[in-house]
A and B are shown apart, each in its own frame.
Chain A
Amino acid sequence: MKIVVCIKQVPDTTGGVKFNPDGTLDRGAMLAIMNPDDKAGLEAALRLKEQYDAEVTVLTMGLPKAKDVLCEAIAMGADKGILVTDRVLGGADTWATSTTVAGALRNIDYDLIITGRQAIDGDTAQVGPQIAEHLGIPVISYAQDIKIDGDKVIVQRQYDDRYHVLEAKMPCLITALSELNEPRYMTPGGIFDACDTEITTWGRADLKDVDDSNLGAAGSPTKIAKASDKVRKGAGEKVVPDSPEDAVSYIVGKFKEKHII
Chain B
Amino acid sequence: MVTKNIEEYKGVFVFAQQVDNEISGIAYELLGKGKELAEKLSTEVTAVLIGYQVKGLADKLAEYGADKVILVDDPELEVYRTEPYAHALASVINQYKPEIVLVGATAIGRDLGPTVSARVATGLTADCTVLEIGDFPMEPKPGIEQKHNQLLMTRPAFGGNTIATIACPDNRPQMATVRPGVMQKIAPVAGAKAVVEEYNPGFTPNGRYVTIKEVVKAVSDTVDIMDAKVLVSGGRGVGSPENFKILEELAEVMGGTVSCSRAVVDSGWKPKDLQVGQTGKTVRPQIYFAIGISGAIQHVAGMEESDLIVAINKDESAPIFDVADYGIVGDLNKIVPALTAALKAEKEAKKNN
Q: Which residues of A are interface residues toward B (Cβ below 8 A)?
A: 11, 13-14, 16-17, 25, 93-95, 98, 120-130, 132-134, 136-142, 154, 158-169, 177-179, 213-214, 219-230, 232-233, 235-241, 244-245, 247-252, 254-255, 258, 260-261
Contacts and interface: CB of A to CB of B under 8 A. Distances in A.
Interface stretch (B8-16, B124-132, B184-192): B124-132
Contacts of B350: 261
B181 interface: no
Contacts of A130: 114-115, 117-118
B118 to A, nearest CB: 4
Interface of B: 1, 19, 79, 81-83, 86, 106-108, 110-111, 113-115, 117-119, 121-127, 136-138, 152, 156-171, 207-218, 220, 265-266, 272-273, 278-279, 287, 296-298, 304, 308-310, 312, 316, 319, 321-331, 334-335, 338-339, 342-343, 346-347, 350
Contacts of B329: 238-241
A230 B160 contact: yes
B114 A17 contact: no
A141 B81 CA distance: 10
B324 A95 contact: no
B328 A164 contact: no
Given A16-B319, A261-B350, 13 more contacts: A17-B297, A122-B157, A142-B111, A159-B19, A165-B215, A223-B166, A224-B165, A230-B161, A237-B325, A247-B335, A247-B338, A247-B339, A248-B339
Contacts of B304: 232-233
A142 B163 CA distance: 25
Nearest to B321: A238
B118 A133 contact: yes
Contacts of A94: 114, 124, 126
A244 B334 contact: yes
Closest 4 CB pairs of A and B: A221-B123, A222-B123, A236-B325, A133-B118
A24 to B, nearest CB: 9
17 contacts: A13-B161, A17-B158, A17-B297, A94-B114, A95-B117, A129-B82, A129-B115, A134-B118, A138-B209, A167-B211, A222-B168, A225-B152, A236-B326, A239-B326, A239-B328, A247-B335, A248-B338
Residue of B19, B157, B319, B343 most packed against chain A (CB within 10 A) = B157
B76 to A, nearest CB: 14
B139 to A, nearest CB: 9
A44 B69 CA distance: 42
A235 B328 contact: no
Residue of A17, A225, A239 most packed against chain B (CB within 10 A) = A225
B147 to A, nearest CB: 11
A125 B113 CA distance: 10
Contact of B297 (A16, A220, A229): A16
A236 B210 contact: no
Contacts of A166: 81, 210-213
B308 to A, nearest CB: 7
B111 to A, nearest CB: 4
Contact of B310 (A11, A126, A214, A251): A251
A241 B164 contact: no
A132 B117 CA distance: 12
Contacts of A258: 308
B106 A160 contact: yes
A213 B304 CA distance: 40
Contacts of A219: 1
Given A141-B111, A222-B125, A235 B220 contact: no
Residue of B111, B121, B342 most packed against chain A (CB within 10 A) = B111
